[in-house]
């Protein structure tokens, strides 16, 4: 099936850069579809949850509620768009059978996967930055207490969900599958992952259960980057190790699936 994908070529070759450029241009050239929906959605989130509800809630962990909300919304937008981009790109290529041009090219499996994953992760990062800018309209100034941690967490979580999106795109049998994964798997994990509340406010049993949700580590990692240690439920170093390990495992699994031709030969 793949006449060149089995080669052990080094990533970042001309072919890799070409594929990644194609994937980036696919969403950059359609800003109204790519960037406008999350901007409008988050204006509504900040208006309703941050301003209106925030007046009733007051503070969470000593932080004004609208400010506490900001990192969670950044995570929500970033990972949703990372997942959506890679899953749709892979599935659309399978559906219209042009992905065969990629899998029969002289690219290695690692190059193929990294091109899809990194281009999708970049979209997630861009969306995250745009959401932070929307937040800056409602919150002035927006603090960034630990920029290195913020950048590290944003890179890891968008890469992780872009890699998960590759699995989704290979597994999906029709467009409804993508909707099911996004609405019934991704969204519930996000909304129970401490985006809108601190897990310290939960009964002890549910607080421990929440620690099994990977979203808790993502939200708290980004929240640490913005607000510092007082506003988080989980230590950033533990969260970063857990998420980095998960990212490496999922990317390696993507490469394995491409090597096996899973979803690509149908």
pLDDT digits (tens, 9 = 90+) for 49-63: 777 777 777 788 888
Average of pLDDT values for 69-77?
Answer: 91
Average of pLDDT values for 31-51?
Answer: 86
pLDDT at 1: 44
CA of 263: how far to CAs of 47, 83, 88, 169, in Å? 42, 17, 14, 8
Token pair, residue 266, equals 């149908």
Over the chain, what is the mean pLDDT? 86
- Assign 83 a pLDDT band (cuts: 50, 70, 90): very high
- Assign 2 a pLDDT band (cuts: 50, 70, 90): very low
Average of pLDDT values for 146-158?
Answer: 96
CA distance 154 to 79: 9
138: enclosing H helix or E strand: helix 109-138
Can you say whether residue 58 is alpha, beta or left, with left for phi > 0 and alpha for psi between -120 and 50 degrees?
left
Percent of the chain having pLDDT more than 90? 39
CA distance 93 to 19: 13
Q: pLDDT tens digits for 97-108?
A: 788 888 888 888
Q: Which of 6-15, 46-55, 76-85, 245-254 has the lowest mean pLDDT?
A: 6-15
Specify the pTM.
Answer: 0.88
Q: Which of 3-7, 29-33, 129-133 has the lowest mean pLDDT?
A: 3-7
CA distance 121 to 199: 27
pLDDT at 12: 66
CA distance 225 to 137: 19
> For residue 5, is pLDDT > 60?
no
Sequential DSSP letters for 15-74: HHHHHHHHHHHHHHT-HHHHTHHHHHHHHHHIIIIIIIIHHHH-EETTEEHHHHHHHHHH
CA distance 48 to 1: 51
């Amino acid at each position: 099936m793949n006449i060149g994908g089995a080669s052990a070529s080094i990533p970042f070759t001309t072919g890799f850069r070409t594929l990644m450029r194609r994937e980036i241009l696919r969403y950059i050239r359609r800003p109204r579809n790519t960037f406008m929906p999350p901007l409008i959605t988050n204006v509504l989130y900040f208006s309703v949850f941050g301003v209106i509800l925030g007046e009733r809630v007051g503070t969470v962990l000593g932080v004004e509620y609208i400010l506490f909300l900001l990192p969670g919304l950044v995570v929500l937008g970033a990972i949703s768009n990372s997942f959506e981009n890679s899953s749709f790109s892979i599935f659309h290529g399978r559906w219209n059978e042009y992905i065969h041009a990629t899998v029969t090219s002289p690219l290695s499996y690692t190059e193929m996967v990294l091109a899809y994953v990194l281009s999708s992760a970049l979209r997630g990062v861009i969306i995250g930055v745009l959401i932070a800018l929307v937040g800056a309209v409602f919150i002035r100034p927006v603090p960034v207490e630990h920029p290195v941690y913020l950048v590290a967490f944003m890179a890891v979580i968008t890469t992780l969900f872009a890699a998960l999106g590759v699995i989704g795109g290979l597994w999906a049998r029709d467009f409804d599958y993508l909707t099911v994964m996004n609405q019934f798997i991704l969204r519930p994990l996000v909304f129970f992952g401490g985006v809108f509340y601190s897990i310290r406010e939960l009964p002890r049993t549910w607080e421990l259960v929440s620690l099994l949700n990977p979203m808790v580590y993502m939200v708290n990692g980004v929240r640490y980057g913005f607000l510092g240690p007082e506003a988080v439920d989980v230590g950033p170093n533990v969260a970063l190790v857990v998420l980095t390990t998960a990212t490496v495992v999922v990317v390696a699994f993507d490469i394995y699936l491409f090597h096996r031709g899973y979803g690509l030969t149908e």
